[in-house]
Amino acid sequence: MKRNFDDLYKAFEDRFRGSRELVKDRLRIYLPLLGQVPRQDDKPSLAIDLGCGRGEWLEILAEAGLEAVGVDLNAGMAREGTDNGLKIELQDALEYLGGRPDNSVAVVSAFHMVEHVPTDYLIGLLDECHRVLTDDGLLILETPNPENISVGTHTFHLDPTHKSPLPPDLLEFLVGQAGFAETAILRLNGTPMIEAGPIERSVHLMFEVARDYACLARIHAKQEPDSLAAFIHTASQPAPADTARIKEWLRSADDEIVGISEGVKSTMSSNADQLRQLADNLAAQSEMMRTGNIALQDTMASLARQLEQLVLKDAAIEEKDAEIARLSENVTTLEKQVQQLASLKDAFQSSTSWRLTSPIRSIKTKTAWFAQGMSASLKFKPESRLWRMTRRGAILLAGSILAHPFLAHHARQLLRRFPGIDVRVRAILSPKRISLPTPIMSDFSTSTRHASHIYLRLKAAVARNQKAAD
């Protein structure tokens, strides 16, 4: 059996429009308007839903206390409603309204139906709606909103039975031309507006908000708070095609982008300056490090040389220490020997033989002294007594001669003729002192008492001789 799209339409609705529960939840937005619909005293007011489909809206109308009648040409769609006890007429919508008397219907609605019919058919349908509605009756025409870019460019065309999109202004114009005094556009079934940046808000408004809209109309307008405008003010979503708002947001985005750009430029300029300064600092630090490295290398080389010298000095000091240690050992040995000799000397001088030979040593010493004096006198040495007596007489004679200029002059003339005599006279008259040779031991602190006594006697004798010579 050959099938057409009408046979698939229920499955299409189930997949792309949503479940019955979801659709009913969306339709409850109209309940405040249903509450304003006047009721008859003797029977429920009549409400007709054109293109009723599965009958979700019929259930809401019945729950609101209205007599709900659905009209649809698709038997497959209507079957689900009739199975649920709903009243659905399988008839063309325009023909069905044509069979109704004037001013006999309280509510006429069509949800996602007007986009399926040609424009001329729609105009005739609106005229019939105006005719059958009571003076205070309500017209609801819901359809996809082509203001939403996603709907106008994509989802509207998913249904091949759609004729053409109906912009809100066009449908409202046609409704007004049918004689309805009060009209309003309710935008709905989209994602609520978000708190975000201007560009993201603009994109969200154009693609996500108000995916559907409904043209609401009454033959006679009502005053606040029952007016359609009051209901729209509280229930409607923003218009996706609100270009003024979008431009304002984008302008603020431009200003923000310009501000950010200027800030980025300023930051980049500042960062560039900082980078240049950092590069200069790094270059300066690098040069300082290079110079410091050279100085460090020189210092290390100098320290190496000093260390080498210290090592050499340390080696020399070690050698000196070793030499000192050896000398210290030698001194210790010599001190021990001196102490031994001193002990032997003291023992020898304390012996009987030393005391018995004392007169002999005295005679020997005096004989040696006399012999030395006689030898010095015979040789006319400066340290002899004859030399000192001769010098004293010569000094007195020279003083007497020098006191007379005449004698002094002739004495000098005479001495020049005999240079040898002149030299000897000058040697006698010179103030030369007798000096004893430096003693072998200059420090007698460690000598024996006898040696110290001899040294002191000798020193006194030298002093007396010098005084006598003067």
CA distance between the termini of the chain: 175
Whole-number Cα distances in Å, 315 to 204, 307, 311: 92, 12, 6
Q: How far apart are CA 32 and CA 231, in angstroms?
A: 8
Could you read off the pLDDT of 238-297 as tens digits, one per residue? 999 888 888 898 888 888 888 888 888 888 888 888 888 888 888 888 888 888 889 888
Nearest to 96 by CA among 82, 83, 84, 110: 110
pLDDT of residue 391: 75
One DSSP character per residue, 228-240 reads HHHHHHHHPPPPT
Is the pLDDT reported for residue 132 higher than 60? yes
Confidence of residue 439 (pLDDT cuts 50, 70, 90): very low
Strand-pair partners of 141: 110, 215
pLDDT of residue 451: 64
Q: How far apart are CA 140 and CA 127, in angstroms?
A: 14
Amino acid letter for position 136: D
Residue 328, token pair as written in the block = 């210290």
Tokens 């038997």, residue?
75
Q: CB neighbours of 214 closer than 8 A, spacing ≥ 6?
A: 30, 140, 141, 142, 143, 185, 186, 188
Q: Which is higher by pLDDT, 119 or 357? A: 119
pLDDT of residue 438: 46
Whole-number Cα distances in Å, 371 to 113, 377, 383, 436: 173, 10, 14, 18
- Which of 104-108, 122-126, 148-152, 419-423 shows the lowest per-residue confidence on average (mean pLDDT)? 419-423
User: Which whole number is the average pLDDT over 94-114?
Assistant: 97
Helices 385-402, 419-429: inter-axial angle, 10-degree rounding: 100
Could you read off the pLDDT of 368-391 as tens digits, one per residue? 767 777 777 676 677 677 767 777
Tell me how crowded residue 53 is: count the other CB atoms within 10 A of its CB: 25
The residue count of the chain comes to 470
Domain at 5-241, CATH from 3.30.70.260, 3.40.50.150, 3.40.50.970, 3.40.720.10: 3.40.50.150
Q: Do 430 and 395 touch, CB atoms closer than 8 A? A: no
Tell me how crowded residue 258 is: count the other CB atoms within 10 A of its CB: 10
Tokens 């980025």, residue?
264
What does the buried/exposed string (b/e) look like for 292-321 if buried means 16 or more CB atoms within 10 Å of the residue's CB? eeeeeeeeeeeeeeeeeeeeeeeeeeeeee
pTM metric for this prediction: 0.57
